[in-house]
Structure 1
Amino acid sequence: MTRVLTPDLLLHAYRQGLFPMAETRDATEVFWVQPRMRGVLPLDGFHLSRSLRRTLRRGHLTASADRDFAGVVRGCADRPETWINDEIFAVYLALHAQGDAHSIEVWQDDRLVGGVYGVTIGGAFFGESMFSTVTDASKVALACAVRRLIERGYRLFDTQFITPHLASLGAEEIPRSRYERRLVAALSITADFGPAGPIALDQVAAQRITQTS
């Protein structure tokens, strides 16, 4: 456990395959996690279903990158049980301020209704958490994230753990040793998350990745 969580310490931990969590929102201690089985979302294996394509094209949602990072983290923490305590919240805001953490936001009528955020190092994106308050908002955020990561030269989308929701989108579990090999390869390249601003959802819908019914 650690009581002093800094951006430099966090980046060092990610390079070693670790990430921080807290037991509860009010916990004063942060502990490091290194799962035996790691969740990853293959960038060439995202399941963009026909129904999700329709959602992307309907026009009732919009998306952006790095428009409201704090709002996305706050949305992710706004649930009965969360591992995001005040210290973790603060350190991710600091990482974002120095350009090492990014978010994808999903909006409906200028209201933030979903998003995903994570840390970037080299060609790796370490997805931390996502949230959704309307149907498919988190799926839209992930579809936008995958498109951007592919376009910007990333090699690894780390989801840490697997949930049924992530598995339905193509995420898989791999052993720690295999993950560490992928991590080393991703860290050896240079990638850039790109500029903040709006994301064209019709272009996201048109991306050529695994399609399911």
Structure 2
Amino acid sequence: MTSRTTDWWHSVAVSVAPADAPAAFCSDLGAPSLLAAYRAGLFPMPAPDEYARWMNEALYEDRVATGAIAVPGHVGELPYQVSWWSPDPRPVIRPGHARLGRRLARRLRNRLDWATSVDRDFGRVVAQCGAGREPRWLTEELRRGLQELHEQGWAHSVEVWQGAELVGGAFGVRAGPVLSLDSMFHRLPDASRVAVADLGDRFTVAGGLLLDVQWDSPHIRSLGARPLPRDDYLDLLRSGPPAGPPSTELLPAARLA
């Protein structure tokens, strides 16, 4: 059962939420809920099966009981189905700081058959990002909500093409001056890195201030991400001038080198 709670995110004190645990549990993955949550500094991680839901309850029920993790509104029969996160610090890529690396830049200058686009194949990019990955957090319900956001102009994909073949990509949700990157994929080496660099370039031109890459890791750091305190991230998210959508035209990837 999926709840449709109105304005549930207003009940979540994101700025004092746990740094390394969910800020809330709520099973509403409808497009209005998704967009408002991203704008509040949250992103969803659906539980793909009953075992994952049970683990959410077992791991976090004590903090739910104390109120450290919010379970707002009437969330239906499965309150632990979707966890909403706002890590502290937040790994972000600032304008002009997406990294290709010297080796890839040299290769890219000679890859005249590589091109990039935005929003030409959103559904396929999302599908490829979820293909063969465990845990399967990109559930069908989340994909439906993201597709609706895409149709409304808030969720975007970037595609990397070798000729007519889709070889890499990434997707995320635009919220104010931030584009929150949910996932990326590659079918050829470094194609996802090109996707992030391309989206960073286009989003900067559209007035964007940050790419939010959500989860910190050595790989994410190699892309140019740096940790930003959550309070600073939330301040910018709430007060920064909203960016427009990134340009969608097909462009040569070599321009990024």
| TM-score, structure 1 normalization | 0.87
Structure 1 counterpart of 2:118: 65
SS at structure 1 position matched to 2:213: strand
Give the SS at the match of 1:52.
Answer: helix
Cross-structure match for 2:97: 45
Change (3 A) 1:25 1:153: farther
SS at match of 2:160: strand
- TM-score by structure 2 length? 0.73
Q: Which runs of 5+ in 1 are unaligned?
A: 206-213
Deviation of 1:106 after TM superposition, in Å, equals 0.9
CA contact (8 A) 2:203 2:246 kept: no
Contact persistence 1:63–1:107 (CA under 8 A): yes
Q: Give 2:32's aligned residue.
A: 8
Deviation at 1:25, TM superposition (A): 7.1
Q: Which entry has the higher C-alpha Rg, 1 or 2?
A: 2
Q: Answer whether contact 1:37 1:174 (CA < 8 A) is retained.
A: yes
2:174 is the alignment partner of 1:120: yes
Q: What amino acid maps onto 1:120 in structure 2?
A: R
Alignment of 1:161-172 (within 5 A): 161-172=215-226
CA contact (8 A) 2:160 2:195 kept: yes
% same residue? 39
Hey, what's the Cα distance between the residues in 1 that align with 2:193 and 2:27?
A: 34
Distance in 1 (CA, whole Å) between partners of 2:235 and 2:174 is: 17
Question: Aligned partners of 1:160, 1:97: CA distance in 2, in Å?
Answer: 23
Amino acid at match of 2:186: S
The structural deviation recorded for 1:76 is 0.7
Structure 2: 5+ residue stretches without partners: 1-24, 53-77
Matched ranges for 1:118-157 at <5 A: 118-157=172-211
Q: In structure 2, what is the Cα distance between the partners aligned to 1:80 and 1:154?
A: 30
Alignment size in residue pairs: 203
Distance 1:25 1:80, change over 3 A: farther
Change (3 A) 1:118 1:52: same
- Bigger relative contact order (CA 8 A; separation at least 6): 1
Match of 1:107, SS state, is strand
> Whole-Å Cα distance in 1 between the matches of residues 114 and 252 of structure 2?
10
* AA aligned opposite 1:153: G
1:125 corresponds to which letter in structure 2? Answer: L
Deviation at 1:156, TM superposition (A): 1.6
- Using the TM superposition, give the Cα deviation of residue 170 of structure 1 relative to its aligned residue in structure 2, in angstroms: 1.2
Cα distance in 2 for residues equivalent to 1:25 and 1:175: 32
2:30 matches 1:17:
no
Of 30, 33, 50, 2:82 maps to 30
CA distance in 1: counterparts of 2:139 and 2:209, whole angstroms: 30
- Cα separation, partners in 2 of 1:194 and 1:142, compared to 1, 3 Å: closer
Secondary structure of 1:54's match?
A: helix
User: Are 1:190 and 2:220 matched, yes or no?
Assistant: no
